[in-house]
Structure 1
Amino acid sequence: MSVASVLSVVAALIIIGVFLVFALNLNFMTGEIENNLELKVYLNDGLTQAQKDSVKTNIEKNSLCKSVTYESKNDALTNFKQDFGDKSYLLNGYEGKNNPLPESYIVKVTDSTKLKDMYSYSKDISGVKDVVYGEEVVDNLLKFNDMASVVCIVIFIVLSIVSIFIIYNTIKLTVYARRNDITVMKYVGATDWFIRFPFLIEGSILGLLGSSVSILIIRNIYYYVIGFIQGGGTGLPLGSGIAPPGIIMGQVTLLFIVYGIIIGAAGSAFSIRKFLDV
């Protein structure tokens, strides 16, 4: 029965663990995308260096500003050519005085949800021609991130309830097998806590063993998935959107150890209650 208890913990935590790894990666990917969100503040033509510096100073004054990077006309053209890839030759002849692209400042903010506020502030600065940040894309991304977080929390709670039910019933069978021993101890004067304490320790150990095994299994699966992706097995770029193992497994390990111990102890505590009434 002890082996069955450990296996039930392992099975339950693997199910939760796979979902948790997915949720953490989703959160990591959206976080990385949000960190790369930026505004482009286009400058009017013919500004002096002092006027350009004034625009930058005004942008930096805003508490939402994280960083400001200058992009010259030549840099803008070079980056534009890179977007064309093999067709970059189509832009030949636009160098120097023929370059139609404006100078700009690339602005990153401290809070991606405040991009719109930074947009409203920047477009009113003297010397600014236009401000662009992809409003529709940003709004959809932030909405998706909020929705994904809620869905992940709900699913995690549901899986946890199912896991607790499975583990509780398995540990209950372990306690049931020793019901006669509990009855004898009660008749000879043992207190409830004297009887309950060894079961709590045993439940915690079983939970810890189960969580340790599930951590090793999830760790090996995660490393295999990363190796598969980095080997080009999915056609994705190297390490595309995948969180480093140190980040993921650190959180999973801490959560599972605490979770396993608590579930094991709680399962034993609730299971033994009915057998203490003799």
Structure 2
Amino acid sequence: MLDPRKLHLLRELARRGTIAAVAEAVTFTPSAVSQQLSALEREAGVPLLERTGRTVTLTPAGHLLVEHAQAVLEQLERASAALAAARGGPSGPLRIGAFPTAARVLLPPALAALTGAHPGLEPMVAEIDPADVSAALRAGELDVALVHEYDFVPPVTDASIETEALFSEPMYLTDRPSIAAARGDGWITNKPGTLCHTMAIRACQAAGFEPLVRHHIDDFDTVLAFAAAGHGVALVPHLAAAGQRVAHGPHPPAAGPDVPLGPHPQAAGPAHGVRLTRLPLSRRTLAAFRKGNGAHPAIVAAVTAFRAAVTHLPL
């Protein structure tokens, strides 16, 4: 009989590439991971790993078993969700991941609604970049997360993760009428490795140039303060730009399919004086959770609270 816990380790090895990375993700020692994988090979009766020095790769049988492991682990998630539903209403810890803008704007009203409707739930929030969410969900560090996707950047969730779309928002450029017009400017981007940074770089590349990045800042309020002080140009999403005066570009995009755009706030925000041009680019926010776990009462309650909170956003 194949052990699901060992199948989980094999799946992580297929995704992370090294035993050391798997060990770090599951808080085992590398030797413990190696022992578990060796035991899985004995259970399977065929070689699953090919070891060359310190390098470990999956054999064809190993790749085949990973495909089946995903289905097995997904079915176990469904079983866990069904048992939770049989026990009654959602209760206990609920680990929520969120990128900073969502944590600041969406989560406070969502958590108020969630705990008001389900006082037995214990939400615990951790800020996380969407690029790291899939691994955190697979490792069981999170139960549900808010992630975003940008134009020019492929989705970051993998085949083990399900998502539900929540809303879409446009992107703005500070103090320039178009990205092409900012070719010679210094840029303010998020830190390398984040989706926001990748989106900014690729948007500039699509306009025909490589941006000269002067500052790496993740907090959009700080980004807007730097832009207001003349220290560079930046791309910012609508929720970060809410409260700024907006100068619409010549080709504003249509509203996203999930939430129509409403009136734009006109009062100055924390970095007042920044002129913002709406671009034909968007950021989409989604709820993410492990495949098979979408019917878990706590996940259903969380996504319902997220959707309710979206109706109060300044979109």
TM-score bin (small chain): under 0.3
Q: What is the TM-score normalised by the length of structure 2?
A: 0.19
The structure with the larger Rg is 1
Indicate the structure with greater strand content.
Answer: 2
Structure having the higher helix fraction is 1
More contact order relative to length (CA 8 Å, sep ≥ 6): 1
